[in-house]
């Protein structure tokens, strides 16, 4: 069960309300849990960063990264925000996540040196995302 502050943050993320997300993350009031934990809220098996990455909510992804969200934390079954951004073709979100260090734990396909998000981007024809790994 989510605490009140966590529920407000989840609601703002799901509504793509970047201004409210920013306000909640920056507010001076102490959250019921430590501020470092709040951005890593898990709702329905996924982090709010995962949800924002899947929906291509670029501004919200930026706010969450600025709030020191764990960019490497995936869903309950291990799918990361970077993986879903690559799968969906969300180049801006993928770029933000890579720049924030998500590429360190991208996972590998069994027997392959290719990072799983890079592989899925390539398989889906998202060439611009695949190029992100070249720089």
Q: What one-character-per-residue DSSP string does 67-133 give?
A: TT--TT---TTS--HHHHHHHHT-HHHHHHHHHTTGGGG--B-TT-SSBHHHHHHHHTT-HHHHHGG
* Domains held by the chain: number: 1
Which residue range(s) make up the domain with 93? 4-134
Pairwise CA distance, residues 26 & 68, whole Å: 12
- What confidence score (pLDDT) does residue 122 get? 81
Q: Are 50 and 71 in contact (CB under 8 A)?
A: no
CATH number of the domain bearing residue 69: 1.25.40.20
Query: Which residues of the chain, if any, have pLDDT below 50?
Result: 28-37, 105-106, 109-112, 114
- What confidence score (pLDDT) does residue 108 get? 52
Q: What is the pLDDT of residues 3-20, one digit of tens each?
A: 777 788 888 999 999 999
Pairwise CA distance, residues 11 & 3, whole Å: 12
């Amino acid at each position: 069960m989510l605490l009140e502050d966590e529920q407000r943050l989840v609601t703002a993320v799901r509504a793509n309300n970047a201004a409210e997300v920013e306000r909640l993350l920056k507010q001076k009031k102490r959250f019921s849990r430590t501020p470092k934990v709040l951005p890593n809220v898990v709702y329905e098996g996924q982090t709010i960063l995962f949800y924002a990455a899947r929906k291509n909510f670029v501004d919200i992804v930026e706010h969450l990264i600025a709030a020191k969200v764990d960019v490497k934390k995936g869903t309950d079954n291990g799918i990361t925000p970077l993986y879903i951004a690559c799968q969906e073709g969300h180049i801006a979100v993928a770029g933000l996540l890579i720049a924030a260090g998500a590429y360190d734990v991208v996972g590998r396909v069994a027997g392959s040196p290719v990072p799983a998000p890079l592989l899925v981007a390539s398989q889906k024809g998202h060439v611009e995302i695949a190029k992100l790994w070249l720089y």
